[in-house]
A and B are shown apart, each in its own frame.
Chain A
Amino acid sequence: MHHNKAVEIKNLHYKYPDGTMALDDINITIEHGESVALLGPNGAGKSTLILHLNGILRGNGEIKVFGLPVNKHTLKEIRRRVGLVFQDPDDQLFCPTVFEDVAFGPINMGLTKEEISTRVNKALASVELEGFGKRSAYHLSFGQKKRVAIATVLSMEPDMLVLDEPTSNLDPRGRGKIIKILNSLPVTKVVVTHNLNEAAKLCKKAIIMDKGRIVADEDIEKVLSNRPMLEAHGLISS
């Protein structure tokens, strides 16, 4: 069964428990292999939207991920195929050692011990952190933590990576490294960011959100050349 669409979202609405409308009629399609920047000011609903991509949050509307409707029967498969990387690596890395963190997903997938070790080493190698397995995440630098956080989902060999501000709070060298690593990964990518330069380096397409709505969804060059629109949604300041 082959589907061209990595993500199909139709008429998605989501309200916070306090009644605030966080997502208001979201309709998007992401093709297989596409890399998409999800842009928007603080509080636009970007993080809320990506939490729907692997069923952590469940709003009203229709969401299909790799052709699978998100429901309790497909959750396991969807979470294997969608690797979600949280913004704060201290939330993503909760085990006593880096190895255990990177192995957490594969262990839950029920793989064999050898397969798990192979995947952990491969994932750490692809974020340029070979041999860091025995360390405690607490003792890593912030940039290293961010990269381990990426490795924790790479070890599940996902078909889509969803990253919430993968370069925030990093120094320029750290940013460059993350961008290089992400560009070397041949999977579908959704990248939440405020940084337009980085969005252009990582993605072909851009979706702009503001106040829980989609306000633009097209080629990134077109989006970036529309300065009045960028300014109206707080992505550049005059």
Chain B
Amino acid sequence: MKHFFIDKYSEIKSPINDLNARAKVIIFFALILLCATTPPNAFLAFGGYYLILSGILLVSKVPLGFVLKRTVVAAPFVLMVTLFIPFMEGGGGSYNLWGLTLHRSGLIVLFNVSVKAFFGVAALTLLTSATPFNELMDGLKQMGVPKIFITTASFMYRYIFVVVNEAMRMKRARDSRNFEGKWIWQTRTIGHMIATLFLRSYERGERIYSAMLSRGYDGEVKSLGKHPIVFKDVVFITLIISLAALLRFSHALTKLISGS
């Protein structure tokens, strides 16, 4: 069974993929931060952020559909929280829609939360798609992310589909023995399967640990990754962040200029 890894497009040759992982982490987190702190009614700025992101997407050659598909995964979570806000009493006037009353302030909250949430998820999706996973981990490690997180994420990346495959094989074996009927009657079987999967993963963990010890593991996963930040990384960071910062603070800037 073949599965797609989150960084399956990271092998594409593109200027974005060639960037240092740390540079990309800095750029994307700065973008998310700037976007998240933008006032809710700065519609132009939001348009600008999405344009920047689209620009990066275009240059990175990661297919748009791939990023969109992964971004909509966040939709239920965002909408569940925000969808009802426009119906609540708030200031700023209201609109009538097929007999329902929508409040302007609530609509702005809905817009604000959704636009920022989707931007964040899309930015992170693009970051992970356009960076080989091991480089991303090396980059985060160099930036001071605790080793335990890096190690956990690396093992998850390596083993998630091994476990998924194990579960699928178990499901097949179960279905081959005429497992049917409503799931509620089968909770016992499902419980056993989960327990078995847990035990197998636990045992695998022990075997992996032995294999690590056999090759001189002493409690710390070391890596060769010493990717220096070079000139083009600095150029990219400066370019993208100053562009986004301009959008973020344009309002304040125009005020400052016209005021003085």
Give A residues with C-beta under 8 Å from B. 51, 54, 56, 76, 79-80, 82-84, 86, 88, 90-97, 100, 103-105, 107-109, 113, 116, 134, 136-139, 152-153, 156
Contact = CB atoms under 8 A, between A and B. Distances in A.
Contact of B208 (A51, A94, A113): A94
Nearest to B203: A91
Contact of A91 (B132, B134, B207): B207
- Pick from A54, A95, A103, A138 the residue with the most CB of B within 10 Å: A138
8 contacts: A86-B210, A91-B207, A94-B155, A104-B215, A105-B215, A105-B216, A138-B162, A156-B216
Contact of B158 (A56, A86, A137, A152): A137
A103 B211 contact: no
B142 interface: no
Given A91-B204, A103-B224, A108-B218, A86 B162 contact: no
B238 to A, nearest CB: 30
A54 B133 CA distance: 32
A108 to B, nearest CB: 3
Given A54-B214, A84-B214, A138-B161, A107 B223 contact: yes
A68 to B, nearest CB: 15
Nearest to B204: A91
Contacts of B210: 51, 56, 86, 91
- Pick from A76, A108, A139 the residue with the most CB of B within 10 Å: A108
A96 B211 contact: no
B137 interface: yes
A58 to B, nearest CB: 12
Given A103-B224, A107-B224, A108-B222, A76 B157 contact: no
B101 interface: no
B45 to A, nearest CB: 37
A90 B224 contact: no
Nearest to A107: B222
B206 to A, nearest CB: 9
A76 B207 contact: no
